[in-house]
């Protein structure tokens, strides 16, 4: 078949299809609408995912950074109040709740892991910052919540070595705070020996805890702060001989 003849057949087929298209479209209108809707949804989902990944991810990152900054400022205020004998440890509960809300609302697993780990750290810190004693019930309850957050963080981390090891290290600190030093040492050893955690900060911190575990089990006594003494102003040591104007000069 010559090329000219093939071209003529294709042209005739195209012309015939264009001529019959209105009738075909009317018969298959529902199919066309369905396919169009599916195509729009697929394209819309694709662009939304890109938007969510780029724009929303940046917004969430900024939100998390702000929360961590506020947490650091709150800790500073608590420590400043300690100097004056004022207990403001309860102020840590507000940023802890905000970190919990953030972790629940974000779709980014790694950012959720960071928020959960920092929340658990904050719950532990609140107990350490209290000026008064901590009863056993408060200790066990709050440590239980912290441990649950660390475990959630491990799941959310998706195998990220830095995030996973940090949350695991937090579990070890919880066991120390509860007095379970053998369990804490076991967790720290698991971190140090895990090849996936090699090069992370948590390995160094875990090894340090292992090396100082004996000392950490000893009771710590703090000397009372020295009493403030009033400072007397310095008296002048030089006496000036002021001449009496009533005495005539020689």
What are the tens digits of pLDDT across the range 42-94? 666 655 666 566 667 788 889 999 999 999 999 999 999 999 999 999 999 99
> Over 80: is that where the pLDDT of 243 sits?
no
Report if residue 108 sits inside a domain. Answer: yes
Q: For residues 170 and 157, give the distance between their C-alpha atoms in angstroms, rounded to a whole number.
A: 14
Angstrom CA distances, 173 to 74, 97, 117, 210, stand at 22, 21, 12, 11
Domain count, the chain: 1
Q: Which of 138, 88, 155, 95 is nearest to 120 (CA)?
A: 95
- Establish if 81 belongs to a structural domain: yes
Q: Is 67 contained in some domain?
A: yes
74 inside domain:
yes
The answer to the question of residue 242 being in a domain is no
Q: How confident is the model at residue 190, as a pLDDT?
A: 97
pLDDT interval class at 242 (50, 70, 90) = very low
Is the model's pLDDT at 249 over the cut of 80?
Answer: no
Q: Does any domain span residue 53?
A: yes
Average pLDDT for 98-121: 95
Identify whether 168 is part of a domain: no
pLDDT tens, 173-203?
A: 999 999 999 999 999 999 999 999 999 999 9
Residue 234 lies in a domain: no
Structural domain of residue 135, as residue ranges? 19-158
| Whole-number pLDDT of residue 197 | 96
pTM of the model: 0.67
Helix (H) or strand (E) holding 37: helix 29-51
Burial class (CB in 10 A: 0-12, 13-18, 19+), 197: buried
């Amino acid at each position: 078949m010559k090329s000219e003849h093939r071209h003529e057949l294709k042209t005739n087929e195209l012309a015939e299809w264009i001529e019959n298209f209105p009738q075909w479209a009317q018969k298959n209108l529902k199919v066309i609408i369905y396919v169009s809707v599916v195509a729009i949804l697929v394209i819309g989902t694709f662009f939304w995912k890109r938007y969510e990944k780029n724009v929303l991810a940046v917004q969430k990152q900024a939100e998390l950074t702000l929360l961590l900054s506020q947490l650091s400022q709150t800790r500073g205020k608590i420590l400043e109040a300690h100097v004056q004998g004022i207990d403001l440890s309860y102020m840590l509960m507000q940023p802890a709740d905000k970190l919990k809300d953030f972790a629940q609302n974000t779709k980014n697993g790694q950012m959720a892991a960071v928020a959960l780990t920092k929340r658990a750290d904050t719950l532990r810190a609140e107990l350490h910052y209290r000026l008064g004693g901590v009863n056993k019930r408060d200790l066990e309850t709050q440590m239980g919540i912290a441990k649950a957050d660390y475990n959630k963080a491990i799941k959310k981390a998706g195998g990220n070595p830095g995030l996973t090891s940090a949350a695991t290290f937090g579990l070890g600190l919880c066991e120390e705070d509860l007095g379970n030093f053998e369990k804490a040492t076991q967790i720290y050893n698991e971190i140090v020996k895990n090849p996936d955690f090699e090069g992370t900060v948590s390995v160094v911190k875990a090894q340090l805890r292992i090396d100082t575990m004996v000392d950490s089990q000893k009771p710590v006594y703090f000397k009372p702060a020295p009493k403030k003494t009033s400072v007397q102003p310095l008296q002048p040591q030089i006496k000036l001989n002021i001449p009496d104007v009533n005495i005539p000069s020689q």
